[in-house]
Structure 1
């Protein structure tokens, strides 16, 4: 269709196909209802990518420059005005095995009232082929509450998480790969073949385990969260990764298992592409990523003391590891404030000079108020960091040097790595066994014990966390490859857990992944954090970006478990998943995961405050002055406070 829109005519399936664009794998058509005459416009996506441009050119008769000059007033008139002329939305087509239906959705920031939503639905419903069901998809939690007051018979609706749970294709990381397809229906099948996996393999599983080696691509046969350790690693490796329901049936029907294929994940497509090919990968060559070498900041492992976390700053990462330094920096921000908190909102985002007016509204203060003061107040009112101590690299070094047998084992492992012999895994396991069995020298035990008495006296339960210099790096996140131990109570268990964390630095998987990234064993150190364990009603992970759409600067992605953070990042539990806007506010439930129902309104409002706090902290921790580098936050919450237990760069 060459026309800019279908106007005041019935939208048939044929017309929909001619007008549609694609978004997130779904065909969609933009719709405008012009109230004065009751006119309805179904916009041709090939002609106009945005509602505003169509309205300006085809209805108002103004130029793009005029539109941009008054964009804030225009947006207010179409998204927030109660007496608005234009109602804007999109119709998306959803196809299942037995039916097709259209969802009608506004943008997330639209503040339509309940009656306005009902009017919009009825106007669109009347203009669409009666054979096509039309259901309103609430764009945010506020719209869900408004629609709850309207009988379903009057305004049929379907929520985002209901659509997500039935989505057959979810692109997690776009890209393409040429490799050998390896399909494993069970974890036992995977374990039996794990030693045969190679860098050129493309793995298909219901749930890909955390210990997966570096591969050419991943296909998840069941729904997952983009924030699991495996999916974060896949994004860091820049390999194609997607959810594709029914993939095993296709593999069986086309006999693809074990064959060479070309695999592509295209967010605009309906499904993944798996094309069999007779061209095998040249397995004798090194993979392309082998040439990418990660450079570490020179570590200091000589004289640093055991210290309280709140005495550390970001620049201490070369002595205590990135996790400890980040938590120390967070303590500092809460205690002393920061001049960087507003950075994300101060940056120009055309056509707007900045987003500070939006931040003022989120912080519930006037635009001319001291926004930095309001920002730190929000952090202090809502965010806590557990007390803890940090063991520097020098303690690990002294422990390792205290045992000649450990030193000899390290020497053997270094030689095996240098010669690239197949004995590396066995030597890693032997070294881990020696580390666990070696007694920590008395003077080190006394120093740790003294710090615990001084800083954490009275604490009943502890968490012992890893804090390495070989993690959270650009191109090497190391998500999930080092140990952290929860529910530690006695002194003996604390010391055993410290050794377990040290041993995780030389696990077969961590050594293998670092070697692939060009990080030598000589340069890799492990600090240890001993924290008070904080319990809460819920816990989870937040990244201050939308991992399914990295061009979306408004939203952050929050995963929630009613069990533990570990259940989220390990992939053992499919969490409740939310998107929260840190510009206009409000959120929406993307998936209920394994939960039987959504969280209550008060808890979701608390998560909105967490989202704003995350965006402020993103600015503080930003390595540059674009303030666009997202952070990955692990948190636990009760009804009073959100406790951040870990914060690091999100490098996916």
Structure 2
């Protein structure tokens, strides 16, 4: 499909205007290929739906040799190349190669890639190694004295150069890489660079003195990154800054110039800045099952469609935006029906609270069953502590149960206040009216007095159990960290509280955050009535971490990769890791290939640390130093696997930090992903 802004397509007699955006190929690939800027796995390709109609008709290929010893022209390359995602930003033309090191001299085989698809097929079908068992083939990736070097040579359109690369799990050595470099450059017609696919490959390239392009550098040049695949129908709304978020409606497709920490329910999201898989916006998108993607210059590209109804599709290889016809707009279901589509997964609902428990419960006593008294966040952390995961700690704390919130709100007539608020003119239909009313209610809640005996009990537990030191006062409601509804970023955390008066105020701020506008909107879309939500509070010892982050115990871009752990990190306290404003350091570790792949490195010049007077402060940090070492990545992946086992093999979204040699665990919630 050509990018022509005047192009019109006719379908069933109706003229449909198409935006000149990134075309979708007939067969989409797994999104991990785009996220990792690498050739999609042919094994995955075999499991993808096959194209139908004209796209399925194979064009006969001229007779092509099984391999060539050299590629002396663009024509040679094109003859042997297979092309993934043709016509999209993810287009990748590539040729497999095998260097036979046993031949004297060593022999290069550039392989007819559409014909053989895999290195092993070439070896067997051409009788180079007709009877070799899989174990012997695998040695060619793992040992220095291997017979073959198996690689891929590709045209990288986003940087305008050819690269050659090896499987991420290939245990390359300096001599092997130097040999490959010499063979490729002697047999190829154009300049070519080594592309690294793991931190091991980067180290080997540096030791060998070989110029390379990193996976991270290629990802930075991509004009499109799919964060959550899916389709949506909605009205395009361009949001220039945070003030515009409050006007968003559930049937809007939000085009965000900044990546906010919170977002009300919408039909789809396109961001002008890349974020991470664990930004709150993306976790919400996954929980709601809506499409989400980074598109370079999105606001400019989509300006002509602002305020218009469109159909959006985000796929691994691109996105598609089509203006709806008047007939299609007229046929749309009512807004209430469309908004209901961003609800929770079937069977998920707010936990029914147990209000009989009024004691302050220490972390060591909490287990998963205490979620009905303290919320899943506090209860899950108690279960993690009880699991005694080696080389980890969990900062001590105590739970203020739902009963305290319920008693406080009842004594101040909350139910009646909510009823009056909802009866205000415009409250139901105007998000800005709701925003103003909810802000007023939060301000009132913070001013209401707490019973002296209750406040005294909080202070006593803080002094006796936690030594009266700095604490984080965190939300733990009955409407977050659920199997089908994460609630990420909806409620308030008050950091590094250091006095008794500040503790009382912080608890009320967390209680009041039940009425944060983003929490209200998300719960409304999920079907949680305001009367069903209660807030527990977890008071936890503050730690001044060196590094902090979040990890997911599977590949967030491809559910077919359970052996992958995704880790996102920044220096200092982890508040900024999920905010979305600055890209965190991101890596993926495979327990199968043992490879560590870098998606991005943190380039921040400052970090957050605890302030001696309370709260947090910004401090300068060494620029260019990696947050995650290989050793730490492997340890974190092992800890993540242990946490997953603790929760019956359900994939987890885990908040962690490091203090000295210890990995500190701060939260574990089910990883929620929904597709529609």
**TM-score with structure 2 length normalisation?**
0.79
Is it true that 1:611 corresponds to 2:671 in the alignment? Answer: no
- Select the residue among 628, 636, 647 that pairs with 1:621: 647
Report the equivalent of 1:284: 334
Within 5 Å, which residues of 2 pair with 1:491-530? 491-530=500-539
C-alpha distance in structure 1 between counterparts of 2:162 and 2:309, whole Å? 38
Is it true that 1:412 corresponds to 2:420 in the alignment? Answer: yes
- How big is the shift at 1:45? 5.1
SS for the counterpart of 2:277 is coil
CA contact (8 A) 2:479 2:533 kept: yes
- Select the residue among 147, 152, 174 that pairs with 1:114: 174
Report the equivalent of 1:342: none
CA contact (8 A) 1:93 1:103 kept: yes
C-alpha distance in structure 2 between counterparts of 1:15 and 1:439, whole Å? 80
Cα pair distance change 1:92/1:384, threshold 3 Å: farther
Within 5 Å, which residues of 2 pair with 1:316-465? 316-334=370-388, 379-381=389-391, 383-404=392-413, 406-413=414-421, 420=428, 424-457=434-467, 459-465=468-474
Count of aligned residue pairs for this structure pair = 579
C-alpha distance in structure 2 between counterparts of 1:238 and 1:522, whole Å? 25
- How big is the shift at 1:395? 1.5
Cα pair distance change 1:508/1:10, threshold 3 Å: same
Report the equivalent of 1:147: 205
SS for the counterpart of 1:440 is coil
C-alpha distance in structure 2 between counterparts of 1:315 and 1:11, whole Å? 68
C-alpha distance in structure 2 between counterparts of 1:202 and 1:287, whole Å? 16
- How big is the shift at 1:312? 0.5
C-alpha distance in structure 1 between counterparts of 2:65 and 2:269, whole Å? 40
CA contact (8 A) 2:177 2:208 kept: no
Report the equivalent of 1:223: 274
- How big is the shift at 1:283? 6.3
C-alpha distance in structure 2 between counterparts of 1:556 and 1:11, whole Å? 41
Report the equivalent of 2:226: 171
Unaligned runs of 5+ in 2: 1-60, 606-622
Cα pair distance change 1:14/1:277, threshold 3 Å: farther
Q: Which moved more, 1:420-429 or 1:507-516?
A: 420-429
CA contact (8 A) 1:260 1:277 kept: yes
Report the equivalent of 1:257: 306
SS for the counterpart of 2:577 is helix
SS for the counterpart of 2:515 is coil
- How big is the shift at 1:473? 2.3
Cα pair distance change 1:413/1:538, threshold 3 Å: same
User: Which structure has the highest helix share of the two?
Assistant: 1
Report the equivalent of 2:120: 52
The C-alpha deviation readout for 1:477-528, integer Å capped at 9, x for no partner, is: 1110011110211011111111111111122221221111111223211111
Report the equivalent of 2:214: 159
Cα pair distance change 1:29/1:301, threshold 3 Å: farther
SS for the counterpart of 1:550 is coil
- Select the residue among 356, 360, 365 that pairs with 1:302: 356
Within 5 Å, which residues of 2 pair with 1:162-241? 162-184=217-239, 186-187=240-241, 191=243, 193-241=244-292
- How big is the shift at 1:47? 4.2
C-alpha distance in structure 2 between counterparts of 1:555 and 1:216, whole Å? 29
Report the equivalent of 1:93: 155
Cα pair distance change 1:238/1:127, threshold 3 Å: farther
CA contact (8 A) 2:546 2:573 kept: no
Within 5 Å, which residues of 2 pair with 1:562-581? 562-581=571-590
Cα pair distance change 1:408/1:289, threshold 3 Å: closer
| Structure 1 stretches of at least 4 aligned residues deviating more than 6 Å after TM superposition | 414-417
SS for the counterpart of 1:505 is helix
SS for the counterpart of 1:535 is coil
C-alpha distance in structure 1 between counterparts of 2:410 and 2:555, whole Å? 45
Is it true that 1:639 corresponds to 2:660 in the alignment? Answer: yes
C-alpha distance in structure 1 between counterparts of 2:271 and 2:660, whole Å? 35
CA contact (8 A) 2:569 2:628 kept: no
Cα pair distance change 1:310/1:51, threshold 3 Å: farther
**TM-score with structure 1 length normalisation?**
0.82
Report the equivalent of 1:137: 195
C-alpha distance in structure 2 between counterparts of 1:398 and 1:303, whole Å? 12
SS for the counterpart of 1:158 is strand
C-alpha distance in structure 2 between counterparts of 1:251 and 1:258, whole Å? 10
- How big is the shift at 1:630? 2.2
Unaligned runs of 5+ in 1: 335-378
- How big is the shift at 1:322? 0.8
Cα pair distance change 1:58/1:261, threshold 3 Å: farther
The C-alpha deviation readout for 1:428-487, integer Å capped at 9, x for no partner, is: 333322221111112211222232223111x42110000111012233211100111102
Q: Which moved more, 1:41-50 or 1:446-455?
A: 41-50
SS for the counterpart of 1:606 is helix
- Select the residue among 464, 477, 493 that pairs with 1:468: 477
Q: CA RMSD in A?
A: 2.9
Report the equivalent of 1:33: 99
CA contact (8 A) 1:402 1:441 kept: no
C-alpha distance in structure 1 between counterparts of 2:211 and 2:482, whole Å? 48
Report the equivalent of 2:321: 274
C-alpha distance in structure 2 between counterparts of 1:44 and 1:243, whole Å? 35
CA contact (8 A) 1:237 1:475 kept: no
C-alpha distance in structure 2 between counterparts of 1:4 and 1:499, whole Å? 75
C-alpha distance in structure 1 between counterparts of 2:76 and 2:308, whole Å? 40
C-alpha distance in structure 1 between counterparts of 2:561 and 2:69, whole Å? 33
CA contact (8 A) 1:535 1:636 kept: no
CA contact (8 A) 1:26 1:92 kept: no
Cα pair distance change 1:407/1:583, threshold 3 Å: same
Report the equivalent of 1:338: none
CA contact (8 A) 1:228 1:571 kept: yes
Cα pair distance change 1:579/1:5, threshold 3 Å: farther
SS for the counterpart of 1:286 is helix
The C-alpha deviation readout for 1:506-562, integer Å capped at 9, x for no partner, is: 222212211111112232111111111001222111112222333223321111212
